[in-house]
Amino acid sequence: MHVCLLPAEILLDIFAIIHEDYISVISHGTLAALARTCRTFKEPALDTLWKHIDGFDPLILCFPEGVHDRDVLGLGKLTFIRPPFAREWSIFSQYAHRIRSLTFEPSESDVIDDRIVQALISAPSLTLLPNLCRLHWFNDQECFIPLLRCLLVPTIRSLELRSSSSGTFWVPSFAKSALLTSLGARCPSIREFKCVYQGDSEDNSDIISDAVCGSRELFHLETGVLNTQALCHLASLPSLKSLYFRTYNIDSTQTDGPEFISQINLVHIAAPSLFALAHCLRNIRFLCCRSVALDIDLNPWGAPYDPLVVPEFIVSFSKHFSPALEHLSVSFEPPLFSLEDEDILADSHFALAFDVIAPLLSLSRLTKVDLDWICASAIDDTSLKRMAQSWPLLQEFYFGSGCRWLVPPSLTFIGFIYLIQHCPALRTIDMTFCACSVDTDSEPFTKTIPNENITSIFVGMSPIVDPVAVACQLHTLVPNLSGVDRFGPLLDVDPTPQFRNMDEGWAKVDEFLTVLNTAAKMRKSVG
């Protein structure tokens, strides 16, 4: 069959491949040439060429030369010499209806001037881009809000509002608030919505919550603080699969908090403190959730966490999340590895006992556990064995290694062996323990099947004794291990004897692992 006789759907696929496989300038030129080749190619080639645009300058340049120009002040902005006539707007419409995706960057203020904006919001058509499905609006300037209003059409499925492409928030204002309150009516079929609308006023939470309550087909939501009404609305949506929000407090007087019954793939909650997070989890339930990530703001002037609050947090978490949970990650922002206060790092009061962690053992389907921020120095080998037996599906394990804790660990190499023995799918281990020689002729060493998935481990601030024996034991248990990462020595800190030669000891382990791996490869090649 001649290429010109192919169905339009196949031509669209071919042109999409051309568009994706070449750099932007080349693909645009190729598609434009294809559109001029024949009538059969014209429509599918133009549809592909105009499917996504960055900014409005490509559309403005479609007007005749006598309509647009560069400003006379030498700033290079596009401007209109005069308002476009009706017949000229028809040229604009020939391309505008093809656009499915638009990205609007902060730099647009350097590209188009006020005349362009005034003309666009006064276009003859009630919908500027009638088939727009995805809008990424990375701009904070009030002068462009009327233009944004014209772009919010019923066909929108994905909407992201931020101050810049690299920023997180959309800075609140009255004009933006007015726009958000009408979002449900303007875009009733939104499935993906990203807008962290955050400021000093509590009203901002009500504004974004009202917008969320107007959306009934949400699949993915990333936003800031939500009130209880919005959370209850989200809990009623069977379509919701991914949720990110920030919490301060949920009304502690309520007796029936939101209960998410439908399957959610990811829940991501940010909180200003561990106490606020624990308070939130007391009033919200996720009965069918696969993955959860919890972010806590680190207080730069105080203790990283209150050891008395951690038990309440873990109990609330274990009760209010599904036993089918697969991924658990709790982290601080910024991460605790930046903490260098010796008085805090050496304070044994931060060490959490096994009883604090024990409620999490009921989550037997976990494949990822990230609790690297805790001080795990009070957890011993027997306790870690129970954890490993409770989480046999573990693939990633981050435990007590995310901070330079100077409290000597109770865990030894025996605990490391238990992990390898009871969690055969492990591929990542980040853990602090006392690395030492063990009896390799008795259990648990002799009963442990080597793990070939792991190629590197992170040992944080792990003390080490007898690096040669440790390297041999590691090579036997983890034969593909190529190296050991760890924290470097703390400057201007006089650590206890266990930590003084830590870096040198692990450097020797790396050297011996290199020799052992080389010898293993030689034996394999000879065999």
Task: Name the DSSP class of 384.
Answer: H
Task: State mean pLDDT over 491-505.
Answer: 81
Q: For the chain, how long is the longest CA-to-CA vector?
A: 90
Read off the tokens for 122: 């006064």
Over residues 186-204, mean pLDDT: 84
Q: What is the pLDDT of residues 305-347, one digit of tens each?
A: 999 999 999 999 999 998 999 999 999 988 888 788 888 899 9
Lowest mean pLDDT among 29-33, 385-389, 502-506: 29-33
CA dist 127 and 418 (Å) reads 64
Q: Which amino acid is at 302?
A: G
pLDDT at 499: 84
The phi and psi torsions of 40 (rounded to 5 degrees) equal: -65, -40
List pLDDT tens digits, range 272-299. 999 999 988 988 999 999 999 999 998 7
Q: Write the CA distances from 253 to 246, 283, 319, 459, integer angstroms.
A: 20, 10, 19, 44
Buried-state track 59-70, b at ≥16 Cβ within 10 A, e below 16: bbebbeeebbee
CB 332 within 8 A of CB 299: no
Structure tokens at 74: 């030498």
Contact 357, 366 (CB under 8 A): no
Question: What mean pLDDT value characterizes the chain?
Answer: 88
What the block records as the tokens of 305 is: 């966490």
pLDDT-based confidence at 34, cuts 50/70/90?
low
- Residue carrying structure tokens 């009516």: 185
> Half-sphere exposure of residue 225, counting CA atoms within 13 Å on the CB side?
21
Specify the higher pLDDT residue, 523 or 327. Answer: 327
Q: What is the pLDDT of residue 411?
A: 97
Question: From the CB of residue 137, how many other CB atoms can be counted at a distance below 10 Å?
Answer: 22
Helix (H) or strand (E) holding 291: strand 289-297
The whole-number average pLDDT for the span 75-79 is: 83
Q: How far apart are CA 265 and CA 274, in angstroms?
A: 23
Task: Note the pLDDT tens digit of each residue in 367-407.
Answer: 999 999 999 999 999 999 999 999 999 999 999 999 999 99
Q: What is the mean pLDDT of residues 449-477?
A: 95
The H or E element containing residue 41 is helix 39-49
Enclosing H/E stretch for 162: strand 158-162
How far is it, in rounded angstroms, from Cα 214 to Cα 98?
Answer: 28
Q: Say yes or no to pLDDT of 26 above 50.
A: no
d(CA 334, CA 300) in angstroms, rounded, equals 9
Q: For 163-184, how does the pLDDT look when each residue is reduced to its tens digit (9 = 90+)?
A: 987 888 899 999 999 999 999 9
Window from 43-52, 120-129, 312-321, 398-407 with minimum mean pLDDT = 43-52
Q: What string of DSSP letters covers 48-115?
A: HHTSEEESSHHHHTTS-TTTEEE-TTSS--EEESSPPPHHHHHHHHHHHTT--EEEE-GGGGGTB-HH
Q: Which amino acid is at 38?
A: C
Least confident of 74-83, 226-235, 504-513: 74-83
Closest by CA position to 505, among listed 457, 474, 471, 456: 471
> CA nearest 33: which of 46, 14, 20, 52?
46
**Mean pLDDT, rounded, for 101-119:** 91
Q: Which range among 45-59, 362-376, 388-402, 430-444 shows the weakest confidence by mean pLDDT? A: 45-59
Residue 474 has pLDDT above 50, yes or no: yes
**Per-residue tokens: 309:** 């609050």
Sequence-distant (6+) residues with CB within 8 A of 489 are 495, 502, 503
Q: What pLDDT band is residue 1 in, cutting at 50, 70 and 90?
A: very low
Cis geometry, peptide bond prior to residue 444 (ω within 30 degrees of 0): yes
Q: Picking from 45-49, 147-151, 241-245, 510-514, which range would have the lowest pLDDT averaged per residue?
A: 45-49
Nearest residue to 24 via CA among 92, 103, 130, 139: 103
Burial class (CB in 10 A: 0-12, 13-18, 19+), 206: middle
Instruction: Give the number of other Cβ atoms within 10 Å of residue 283's Cβ.
Output: 21
Are the CB atoms for 451 and 424 separated by under 8 Å?
A: yes
Local structure of residue 435 (DSSP, 8 states): B
Average pLDDT rounded to a whole number, residues 230-252: 87
Beta strands in 127-206 (DSSP E): 134-138, 158-162, 192-195
In this prediction, residue 43 has a pLDDT band, given cuts at 50, 70 and 90, of confident
What pLDDT score does 201 carry? 56
Rounded Cα distance between 146 and 151, Å, is: 9
Q: How confident is the model at residue 254 (pLDDT cuts 50, 70, 90)?
A: low
pTM of the model: 0.87
Alpha carbons 156 and 152: distance in angstroms, whole number: 7
Q: Using pLDDT thresholds of 50, 70 and 90, give the confidence band for residue 40.
A: low
Query: Above 90 in pLDDT, residue 220?
Result: yes
> Quick one: average pLDDT of 238-247?
95
Using alpha carbons, select from 467, 465, 466 the residue that is nearest to residue 484: 467
**How far apart (Å, rounded) are the C-alpha atoms in residues 182 and 332?**
35
Which amino acid appears at position 486 of this protein?
R
Cα dihedral sign, 278-285-379-463: negative
Better pLDDT: 48 or 7: 48
Q: Rounded distance, CA 57 to CA 78, Å?
A: 7
Q: Are 392 and 369 in contact (CB under 8 A)?
A: no
Cβ-in-10-Å burial (0-12, 13-18, 19+) of 161 comes to buried
CA-wise closest residue to 287 among 316, 312, 323, 241:
323
| pLDDT at residue 249 is higher than 50 | yes
- pLDDT value, residue 497: 80
pLDDT, residue 109, reads: 83
